[in-house]
Amino acid sequence: MENNHSPSCQKIVFLGGGNMAEAIFAKLSTNDKFKIEVIQRNPDKRARLKELYPNISVYPSLDYPLAAEDILVLAIKPQQAKDACLAIKDKIDNCLIVSVMAGLAINNLNSWLTNARIIRTMPNTPSAIQKGVTAIYYPQSITAHEKATIDYIFNNIGLIYYAKEEVEVDKILPVTSSAIAFVYYFMEGMIDNAVNKFGFDPIDARNLVCQVLEGSVGLVKANPEITINELRARVTSKKGTTEQGILTFERNNFQQIIGEAMQNSFNRGLELAKEFS
Ligand SMILES: NC(=O)c1ccc[n+]([C@@H]2O[C@H](COP(=O)([O-])OP(=O)(O)OC[C@H]3O[C@@H](n4cnc5c(N)ncnc54)[C@H](OP(=O)(O)O)[C@@H]3O)[C@@H](O)[C@H]2O)c1
């Protein structure tokens, strides 16, 4: 398989070429500083990747050795991790490893790979449009030069949150990862009711709700000195229409429901981590 990059390029190998891997390498694949290789076992998915990303090399399995200066990104499902790691264990020569997998601790990965240089990350789906946020935990063994390379990769797909301890990578799941679905759930409720209760056309309702979200976030970002509580108060006149809606949320303990949803999501992450480790 050919590639057009100079030998001085940073090689990044993705084990698993699914949604998250693609979100990370899509933009990088057009950057001459990187040589992207993707290990994808599914032939149809391999064919699609080759067609969409002519600059990357795609292989069915990792049958070749990686050098210490290469980067290996583990982008398979947590339940696929143990078998996949054990299968490549002898090919990786202490290269830098970046896991994007939810739940699996460095200790687990280390026991399957016997590699001391493992970085944990937790990106989210808006990374596919460079609007993501990635939590990154760097163990002490990672050098400043390596950190700069990994920061560069994840800065390409959005913001970085530097986790101070590994557990923050797990704690961020309900805050930035599952949270995407939580926001969609709220949007679905708004759109369905705009259509079914108030008779709006579904496409108009979708566009209106999207604009409301963009506008709300835009105002928060444009006014960093004003609390969100104050911004809400400014739209909520006493005895006005908005107040009736907010009181309905309060009567039904909406904040508490959000808290429970986040806690249950986090707890499920811990259960799954136990199951797959
Ligand atoms: N998607 C998200 O929102 C998100 C967010 C943050 C983190 N993550 C993490 O990212 C990881 C990947 O998620 P994803 O959504 O990208 O999953 P995905 O779309 O299923 O991608 C994984 C791909 O890896 C392939 N694969 C599995 N084992 C392999 C092996 N041994 N060799 C080669 N290819 C292999 C799978 O092939 P098959 O189809 O044959 O199984 C699949 O195409 C997960 O660990 C997840 O926790 C995902």
CA of 276 to the centre of ligand 1 (A): 14
Query: Ligand 1 within 6 A of 169 CB?
Result: no
Chain mean pLDDT for the chain: 94
Region for residue 199 given its phi and psi (left: phi exceeds 0; alpha: psi -120 to 50; beta: otherwise): left
pLDDT band at 216 (very low <50, low <70, confident <90, very high): very high
pLDDT at 2: 35
Query: Ligand 1 within 6 A of 45 CB?
Result: yes
SS3 200: coil
Query: Ligand 1 within 6 A of 39 CB?
Result: yes
Q: Given a cut of 90, is residue 6 above it in pLDDT? A: no
Q: Given a cut of 90, is residue 250 above it in pLDDT? A: yes
Q: What is the pLDDT of residues 11-37, one digit of tens each?
A: 999 999 999 999 999 999 999 999 999
CA of 124 to the centre of ligand 1 (A): 13
| Superfamily for domain range 174-273 | ProC C-terminal domain-like (1.10.3730.10)
pTM value is 0.93
What backbone phi and psi angles, to 5 degrees, belong to 229?
A: -60, -40
Q: Given a cut of 80, is residue 5 above it in pLDDT? A: no
Mean pLDDT, rounded, for 46-69: 95
Nearest ligand 1 atom to the CA of 80 is 28
pLDDT at 114: 81
Higher-scoring residue by pLDDT: 3, 260: 260
Q: Given a cut of 90, is residue 276 above it in pLDDT? A: no
Q: Given a cut of 90, is residue 277 above it in pLDDT? A: no
Name the closest-CA residue to atom 48, ligand 1.
20
Nearest ligand 1 atom to the CA of 20 is 16
Non-local (6+) Cβ contacts of 129 within 8 A are none
Name the closest-CA residue to atom 21, ligand 1.
18
Q: What does the domain layout of the chain look like in residue ranges?
A: 10-166, 174-273
Rounded Cα distance between 17 and 10, Å, is 18
What is the CA angle 25-31-33, rounded to 5? 105
Name the closest-CA residue to atom 19, ligand 1.
18
pLDDT at 4: 44
Nearest ligand 1 atom to the CA of 84 is 31
Nearest ligand 1 atom to the CA of 39 is 33
Name the closest-CA residue to atom 43, ligand 1.
18
| Superfamily for domain range 10-166 | NAD(P)-binding Rossmann-like Domain (3.40.50.720)
Q: What is the pLDDT of residues 60-116, one digit of tens each?
A: 999 999 999 999 999 999 999 999 999 999 999 889 999 999 999 999 999 999 877
